[in-house]
Structure 1
Amino acid sequence: MKKIIYLLTVFSMYCACAQKNDVKITPTQQQTKNDMDTTKLNETVKKAFDAWQKGDAETFTSFFTADAKLYDDGNPRDFKKFVKDACGHEKFTSIDTIENEGKTIYGRFHTESWGDFRTFFKFNINNDGKFDKLEIG
């Protein structure tokens, strides 16, 4: 009986040592693990999206008109302040759906303030090929 207890003890210790800890992947690590498919994005949206993901606010805003409008869940916000505060600190961690001829992106988003959540960016292109409105939510 002592042999059985000894073997069970050794076996249980071996199993406990072999268990892996539950490792959490940060959104930044997740993004590098899952390359996001941006091939269905409108060409200009893709360039703006890439600039956003890199935290390049200057390039991101270069695709917008000087008086671009921002709507967050339908509520007007200051576009320039949003870009200044968020670009480089917030980014998509996955793309779930692309709609509206490649001008609307739905996916997971990470912010330093609010954590992780699902969101969308909907770009409106004017006749000159610039974005005049960005809807987020």
Structure 2
Amino acid sequence: MTIAPAKLTDPAVRAFVTAVNAGDRDAFLALLTPDATMTDDGSERDLRDWIDREIFGPNGRMDVQTESNGGRALVANFTNETWGEMRTAWRFTVEDGKISRFETGQA
């Protein structure tokens, strides 16, 4: 069962998923703190390079299955034209309404 992005609890995470699914890179970047960081499968990545390669270049989409930790932890089926569909976990650190860090990897 999928959770509609509009039903996600945390406003910043809700906007993150909405921007990913809309392919809206500018809206996505506006949600992040200037010094935001991220990991993929436990490895630190260059955030802008990673989002272009994994999300915005290959039309990434998130279909959220579950949320926990006040909406700051998700399990989602993530799909893009490079890798197809993967079950992924996402954890977000939110400060003053902006995402300062996200961690993703296979669930």
Match of 2:91 in 1: 122
Match of 1:112 in 2: 81
Match of 2:36 in 1: 68
Q: Which stretches in structure 1 are left out of the alignment for 5+ residues?
A: 1-33
Q: Which has the higher helix share?
A: 1
Match of 1:37 in 2: 4
Q: Higher RCO, 1 or 2 (CA under 8 Å, sep at least 6)?
A: 2
Give SS of 1:120's match. Answer: strand
Give the whole-Å Cα distance in 1 for the aligned partners of 2:10 and 2:38. Answer: 19
Cα separation, partners in 2 of 1:102 and 1:136, compared to 1, 3 Å: same
Percent identity reads: 27
Moved more, 82-91 or 54-63: 82-91
Contact 1:56 1:87 (8 Å CA) reproduced: no
Give the whole-Å Cα distance in 2 for the aligned partners of 1:108 and 1:35. Answer: 9
Give the whole-Å Cα distance in 1 for the aligned partners of 2:8 and 2:32. Answer: 20
Give SS of 1:101's match. Answer: helix
Q: Flag the structure with larger Rg.
A: 1
Q: Which has the higher strand share?
A: 2
Contact 2:2 2:64 (8 Å CA) reproduced: no
Contact 1:123 1:135 (8 Å CA) reproduced: yes
Give SS of 2:75's match. Answer: strand
Give the whole-Å Cα distance in 1 for the aligned partners of 2:71 and 2:89. Answer: 12
Equivalent position to 1:87, from 34, 44, 55: 55
Q: Which amino acid aligns with 1:110?
A: T
